[in-house]
Structures are given as C-alpha cells and as structure tokens.
Amino acid sequence: MSTAAAADAPSMRAVPPNRLIAFYRSSIGKKWIVALTGLVMVGFVVVHLIGNLQIFLPPAYINAYAAKLKSLGPVLWLFRISLFAAFVLHVINTIQLSRMNRVAKGERYVKEATVQATVASRTMFYSGLILLAFIIFHILHFTLGWIPTENIHVMDYAPEAGNAKDPLLHNVWKMLVGGFRNPFVSVFYLVSMGLLCMHLSHGVESTVQTLGLRTKPLARPARYLSWGLGWAVFLGNAAIVLAILFGFIK
C-alpha cells in the first residue's frame, strides 16, 4: 500500500458512519426512515387483512392459516422482532420530526398545497398516538389473551379429519367471533380502523413524495392509490367486525 493510500484509508473508513449519523439526525433522514418503516407496516397491514378475511370462509381455512404461521417458529419470531423494530423506529422518528417541525416555523412535513390542507395530514400525529394505543390493545386482546374474550383459548382438533387422533389447534375462528360479539370492542376497532384509513391515506402519499416518486404526472395516481389503499383496509376490517357483530358470522 502506498503512503497516499495509507493516509486515505482511515478517512474512508471514518466518513461513511459520520455521514450516516448526520443523515439520521437530519429531517430528511428521519423522513426517509418514517417512509421506509411505514412501507413495512403497510405491507403487514395488507397481509394481515388478507389472512383475516378468511373468516368469511369455513372455519377450517383461517384455523389452518393460523396453524401454518405458528409452525414457522423462529422465522415467525424474526418477523415479529423486525416488525416491532420498524414500528419503534417509525414512532420515535415521527415524534422527533414533529418537534423539529415546530422549531422550524416555516417548515412542514408536507410542503405542497395539494396535501398539506387535508384533515389526515393535520391529524397525522394524533391519529398515530391513538393507533399506538389500539395496537397495544389488539396485542393484549387477541395475541396474549389478557383481555377477557369469549373462546380466546379454545383448542379444537385439526379440521382435516375431525377425530381425537388429530393434533389440537387454536381455533382462531371462534376467537374472532367471540371477540367481536362485544359491541364496545367492535366500536373501538371500527374507530381505530377509520383512523388507520386516514393515516394510510396521507402516509402513503407522503412516502411517495419523500422517496422522490411523486412527480407531476404521478401526483394524481399517487393520491388515488393512497386513498384507495386506506379505504380498502378500512372496509375490509370493518366488514369482518360488522359481520360478526350483527350475527352474519356465528
């Protein structure tokens, strides 16, 4: 190695971490983190909804789906940890961005007039806090079973053969039906899904802008995509809750 190369080597090793730290601390870096972690959670919300829509099929389908997920073992836990890390980064950087924007009086998270006047954008921070409370409640309700729910721990024989030689499976179908028979729980879920619709509608559009994809020709399609996704998630989840609450699924 030449003398010049040796002199340059330490600086080459030192610059990238410093630049990464500076980028992370900047408002642009935090917007990117919020955008990318938001995309991760949007993907989870969509997949989660698709899985839960199997409640409209015979019980064997959603129970087998849940059993398949549980059989993943370490892979499932790796996914859960990654999702939790993305969620924590999303919340922390959103709060930090909100504080930075208050300090920079002329700066707003979304600068273009086409999105800054919407109710969703003005309530983004507060809807996010309520959704955080909802996520905690949802985990306590269905994942951990710490909130009393009818049939939360029901175990039935595998649906394929239906005899005592089959392994016991967690009956997710009965758990969901028992959970949403409570009108107070159902109303809370519906309100939370409405806020999620607003959050997604603004968040996806902001993500497209942050990643530099919201060009003039794509501005309107991006808005339609964000609102369409938000409403699809709301209507899909609301259909599950209302179908159970009003006895269409029983």
Supply 107's token pair.
């700066």
**Other Cβ atoms closer than 10 A to 177:** 20
Supply 194's token pair.
């409405």
In a domain, residue 13? The reply is no
8 A C-beta contact, residue 199 and residue 124: yes
In a domain, residue 5? The reply is no
Mean pLDDT, each 10-residue run in order, the chain (250 residues) = 48 60 84 90 93 92 87 89 90 85 58 48 70 83 68 54 54 86 91 88 80 74 86 95 92
In a domain, residue 8? The reply is no
For residue range 18-34, what is the model confidence (pLDDT) as tens digits? 887 888 888 888 889 98
For residue range 64-104, what is the model confidence (pLDDT) as tens digits? 888 888 888 899 889 989 998 998 898 888 888 878 877 77
In a domain, residue 106? The reply is yes
8 A C-beta contact, residue 223 and residue 202: no
In a domain, residue 19? The reply is no
In a domain, residue 97? The reply is yes
How many domains are contained in the chain?
Answer: 1
Residues ≥6 apart with Cβ < 8 Å to 26: none
Q: What CATH number corresponds to the domain at position 33?
A: 1.20.1300
In a domain, residue 2? The reply is no
Residues ≥6 apart with Cβ < 8 Å to 63: 156, 159, 169, 170, 171, 172, 173
Range of the domain at 32: 24-245
In a domain, residue 16? The reply is no
